Each structure stands twice: as structure tokens, then as C-alpha cells.
Amino acid sequence: MGFAVVITDHDFATLEPEERVLRPLGIQLEVLTPSNRTAFRSALARADAVINQFVPLDAELIAAMPRCLLIVRYGVGFDGIDLAAATQAGICVANVPDYGTQEVAIHAISLMLAVHRRLLQYDSALRQGRWLRGPQVAPPIPRLKGLTLGIVGLGRIGRTVAAHADSLGLHRLTYDPYVSRSAAMDAGAVLVDFETLLRQSDFVTFHTPLTAETRHLLGESEIQRMKPSAVVINTSRGAVVDTTALARALHAGRLAGAGIDVFEQEPLRPAHPLWTAPNTILTPHVAWYSEEATQTLTRRVAEEVARVAQGEWPRALVNPEVRPTARL
């Protein structure tokens, strides 16, 4: 029996990039139908590697993978995979951490600038036949240069955001408990605690994975510490921000605006108050997207499978503690 690879789900137009990598190794891909739970579990049971996009892989499903050596995610985040269960089972878990770094960083900066410059307000008024003078928007627009950007999470994307912010003349603060003061300085940012970042920042942008410690990192009490003129940007994971508390603050005028690409529930439910929040731009979890990023993502997922199929460790192992007991 050959090396069996299943894809739990995907939304790509083609699997040609993956097949180009895996076909020379004699590996074929089987795309599953998650809605058929019995067939889904049966396929997982015979899989040597599992490629996953959106379907949550909980402890029960992971326990149903007796042959599996690797779970690899289409993307950076891996909060949909029970990492502890996978590690206990001896399964390597990998992601693709660097396929869309530039795209996400530019999307975050774009949201920040669009909200800051009140572009939606001007555009909407113009389409309604109203020719607004500059000062007729609310809140008023301060000069960008000299304002402060707070970057929560100084990984690849956070550092790239910091570099773009430098060219805009923004002061940069960062909060990241896993980064040293010198590393923050190398990225052009000042390392501070979270409360200081919230109090001093004119913009707060989130670039952190979703973990138990980052879930609702920005909630009601944290928002109360922010300037009423501040803007929130989130292109990381939806549940890092309590979006109900965020919407409440925006409607009450306790924040100046927001740019949100990720949500606690996707798609965003129709009745969510963010839809009507003032000076708020919403995008449908597309910060990662460019054609080149898509090609890189799908190719690198397949390359991780190819490494494991040939007895090598994955390049982007997110549970290194599995090494002593890995099935690999």
C-alpha cells in the first residue's frame, strides 16, 4: 500500500500545485467530504498524512488516525487542530508560516490607512451626491506622521508591519511576551507591556496566533484603556478580539474606527453589530491573498507531505515536543 494522503477540505480551484510535487513520488490525493462523518472517519483511519484547511480536527478525530504521521494546515494558524491530542498520538503538525507575510502586512496597513483617512465616509457621501469638505467627516482626521502604532505580536508579519510603518513616520510600540527588548529594537519598535501599548497607541494592530492566552486579548476592559481616538486593526485570528465588545465601543464612540479581516464566526453572522459600526471596514478573511501567495501555500503544503513521506521532519513543525515519541 502506498503513502496515503487525504485532504479534509479545501477551497482552491485546482490541486495541480500539490499534484506536481507529489506525483513523482507516486502519491495520490483523496479529497474528503466532511459532511459524511462515517466515510470521513474511515478515510482518516487509512491516512498516512492529512492536509487540512477549515474542518476542525478535535481529539476524537485525531484518535481515529492510527496511521497518520503528519497533519499539515493550509495556512499559518493551527488553532483548529487539537495540538495536545496530536502530540500525544505521536503525530507531527505543520503549518506554512511565511507564504503570505507581505500580503497580510500590507492588508493591515491598508485597513489602517483607509480607516484613518475616512475613505468609506467620503466614498459613500460622494455616491449619494454629497460633496463633503474635508472637515465634515467624523471623527476629525489628525496628521498621520508622529502618531503611534501598537503592534501586538512581533513575528514575521508584525516585523513587516513595523517596517512599513517606519516609512509612514509612525512611532512603533510592540507587545510580545516572547520577544526580547533588543529584538524589538532591531525591528524599530519599543517593547512595552500590553496596558502601556493600549494607553499610548493611536492604532493597535494584532498579529498573534490564537491560543488560550490570546483569546479575547482585546475585550471590554482593555478597550476602556484605549484612547477614544484609537483605531483597532485585526488580520490575525478572529477570536483574539472580542468583536461584540469592539462593536459596542464603536457604536458608543469610545473608539474612532476599526479594520477587521477575521471574525470569531466566519462568515460573520448577518445580525452582528459590526455590520453597522461607524468608520469600520470589514473584509472576508482575505488579507493573506495574492495569486503568488496561493501558489506558495499549496506548493509548500505538498512539500511538507513529501518530506515526511521520505522519512524527513517537516520544515515548519509547530509541535516540536512530539519529536521523542513521533511516529515518523
Q: Which residues are catalytic?
A: 237, 266, 285
**145 within 8 A of 151, measured Cβ to Cβ:** no
CA distance 276 to 120: 13
C-alpha to C-alpha distances, 155 to 17, 166, 208, 242, 287, nearest whole angstrom = 27, 16, 8, 22, 16
What H or E segment, with its residue span, contains residue 71? Answer: strand 70-73
Q: Cell numbers for 196, please give them.
A: 502601556
Runs of H (alpha helix) within 81-136: 83-88, 101-116, 119-127
Among the listed residues 133, 208, 134, the one whose alpha carbon sits nearest the alpha carbon of residue 177: 208
3-state secondary structure of 5: strand
The DSSP output letter for 170 is: -
CA distance 129 to 154: 43
**97 within 8 A of 304, measured Cβ to Cβ:** no
C-alpha to C-alpha distances, 296 to 52, 73, 99, 302, nearest whole angstrom = 16, 13, 6, 10
CA distance 278 to 92: 44
- CA 118 distance to own-chain centroid: 25
Sheet of strand 148-152, all strands in order from the earlier edge strand to the far edge:
190-191, 171-175, 148-152, 203-206, 231-234, 257-260, 280-282
**79 within 8 A of 240, measured Cβ to Cβ:** no
